[in-house]
Amino acid sequence: MKNKATKKLQDLQHFGEFGGVNPSISDSSTYTFMAAKTMMDSFEGHAEGCYLYSRHSSPSNLYLGEALAALEGTETANVAASGMGAITATILQICSANDHIVCSRTVYGGTYAFLKNFAPKFNIHTSFVDITSMEKIEAAITKNTKIIFCESISNPLLEVANIPALAKLAKKYNLILVVDNTFSPLSISPKLLGADVVIHSLTKFINGTSDTVAGVICGTQEFINSLRDVHIGASMLLGSVMDSLRSASVLKNMRTLPIRMKKHSENALYLAQKLKADGLKIIYPGLKKHPQHELFKEISNPEYGFGGMMALNAGTLAKADELMELMQQKGLGYLAVSLGFYKTLFNAPGTGTSSEIPEDEQKQMGLSEGLIRFSIGLDNDIAHTYNEMKKCLINVGLLKA
Ligand SMILES: Cc1ncc(COP(=O)(O)O)c(C=O)c1O
């Protein structure tokens, strides 16, 4: 699939207030009106081009939102202070008490915890299902279902969601398909495949420097307007707003996203193939044995490869810990949560980023305690990385010398 949206992103130009190639940062929380009537109109959402208050919108946030809408091919986008700020606002905007959500059982632990433990306080209930089974998803839909929620590449098991098939199902039952595309910016374009709302934790690949948390909701103008509505908008009223200084820096980092994603993918594929050939248990969508390898190829933009995320099963948590500590000592990366950094990051999600998911449910979904999730970095000499990694694997006894 060729991605028309990324062309839009490439062609996007912003002219700063003083002709600067970077737009000026809007360093204000509030904005003046020359006429009182315009301020009133603005509260009603009818004052095009006017700013009211930065929790509602700000020039810097609109610039970043415009770039993210171009990335995803949506009409517009609303940035948030974190990925969770984007996810919770979207869900609470769409759902009311007694509504129901069908969600992939392999999602980020925070999303899982919100849906499992927090949303029920508002009588919003969720069925967690195997997102690769259309039958199970369809069977979970009730008359109260409002949303199908999934990640394009799931966290941490790297299952690939069949977004076109999910979109069809969502249309059939008049549901909203919300896709968290954090793991696969550029390589997968959910909106172009039929999703209604696309979410990112910008904290990860899009910002790419692990120096902030940030998020975005990409969708129709109508949906984004509803999120910003001063009377009923979840983004406006829950207040997860990004600061202008941060959105300006995320926008600058985003310009290198295409070249970074290509390198993350190239490095991850190299390591996955080598380590698999060595006999290790590797999960990576670029490997032919991955259950959704063909699907990934069908729905992705090939120039960006299979993404920067890879998982290795070390067998036991003790072995995983030993390996991660050694790799960190040897300078191969950091034992840290999160992803999308220039250095490789690794953690054992069973006790880390997915620890919100109860142990028995982890087992059910195939998340073993020895699984290490890698966000592969931008290493210039990946053959050197592989050689050093191999030494660590031999050292801890996962490979023979
Ligand atoms: C797939 C995914 N979605 C959402 C989030 C939450 O994003 P944030 O930490 O920016 O709130 C994360 C965080 O790890 C994630 O991995």
Report which protein residue has its CA nearest ligand 1's atom 9.
83
Indicate if ligand 1 lies below 6 Å from the C-beta of 189: no
- The answer to whether residues 155 and 106 touch, using CB atoms and an 8 Å cutoff, is yes
The DSSP secondary-structure symbol of 117 reads I
| Cα 85 to Cα 369: distance, rounded to the nearest angstrom | 29
The pLDDT score that the predictor gives to residue 350 is 79
Indicate if ligand 1 lies below 6 Å from the C-beta of 155: yes
Q: Nearest-5° angle of CA 215, CA 293, CA 8?
A: 45
Q: Is 372 helix (H, G, I), strand (E, B) or coil?
A: strand
Q: Ligand 1 center to residue 43 CA distance, Å?
A: 32
Report which protein residue has its CA nearest ligand 1's atom 7.
83
Q: Ligand 1 center to residue 20 CA distance, Å?
A: 33
Quickly tell me which residue has 């191999």 as its tokens.
390
Indicate if ligand 1 lies below 6 Å from the C-beta of 154: no
Pairing of strands 215-219, 281-283: unpaired
- The answer to whether residues 386 and 274 touch, using CB atoms and an 8 Å cutoff, is yes
> What is the tens place of the pLDDT at every residue in 360-399?
877 777 788 999 999 999 999 999 999 999 999 999 999 9
The pLDDT score that the predictor gives to residue 217 is 98
Q: Which residues contact 329 (CB under 8 A, 6 or more apart)?
A: none
Residue percentage of the chain with pLDDT more than 70: 98
Confidence of residue 299 (pLDDT cuts 50, 70, 90): very high
Q: Ligand 1 center to residue 109 CA distance, Å?
A: 9
CB atoms within 10 A of CB 277: 9
For all residues of the chain together, what is the average pLDDT?
94
> What is the tens place of the pLDDT at every residue in 31-70?
999 999 988 888 877 667 789 999 999 999 999 999 999 9
- The answer to whether residues 359 and 394 touch, using CB atoms and an 8 Å cutoff, is no
Helix (H) / strand (E) containing 125: strand 125-129
Cα 219 to chain centroid distance, Å, stands at 15
> What is the tens place of the pLDDT at every residue in 154-189?
988 899 999 999 999 999 999 999 999 999 999 999
Q: Ligand 1 center to residue 149 CA distance, Å?
A: 14
Quickly tell me which residue has 């979207």 as its tokens.
90
> What is the tens place of the pLDDT at every residue in 62-93?
999 999 999 999 999 999 999 999 999 999 99
Closest among 76, 133, 84, 72 to 105, alpha carbons compared: 133
| Cα 284 to Cα 18: distance, rounded to the nearest angstrom | 47
Indicate if ligand 1 lies below 6 Å from the C-beta of 347: no
Indicate if ligand 1 lies below 6 Å from the C-beta of 108: yes
Confidence of residue 2 (pLDDT cuts 50, 70, 90): low
The pLDDT score that the predictor gives to residue 42 is 82
The dihedrals phi and psi of 164, each to the nearest 5 degrees, come to -60, -40
Axis crossing angle, helix 4-11 with helix 59-72, rounded to the nearest 10 = 150
The pLDDT score that the predictor gives to residue 321 is 97
Quickly tell me which residue has 């969508």 as its tokens.
285
Atom of ligand 1 nearest to the CA of 182: 1
Report which protein residue has its CA nearest ligand 1's atom 2.
108
Who has greater pLDDT, 310 or 50? 310
Cis preceding linkage at 156, omega within 30 = yes
Indicate if ligand 1 lies below 6 Å from the C-beta of 250: no
The pLDDT score that the predictor gives to residue 153 is 97
Q: Is 80 exceeded by the pLDDT of residue 19? A: yes
What token pair was written down for 242? Answer: 């990004």
Buried b (16+ CB within 10 A) or exposed e, 302-337: eebbbbbbbbbbbeebebbbbbbebbbeeebbbbbe
The DSSP secondary-structure symbol of 391 reads H
Confidence of residue 244 (pLDDT cuts 50, 70, 90): very high
Q: Ligand 1 center to residue 357 CA distance, Å?
A: 15
Closest among 143, 142, 160, 140 to 152, alpha carbons compared: 160
The pLDDT score that the predictor gives to residue 288 is 97
Q: Is 60 exceeded by the pLDDT of residue 1? A: no
> What is the tens place of the pLDDT at every residue in 107-119?
999 999 999 999 9
Q: Is 85 helix (H, G, I), strand (E, B) or coil?
A: helix
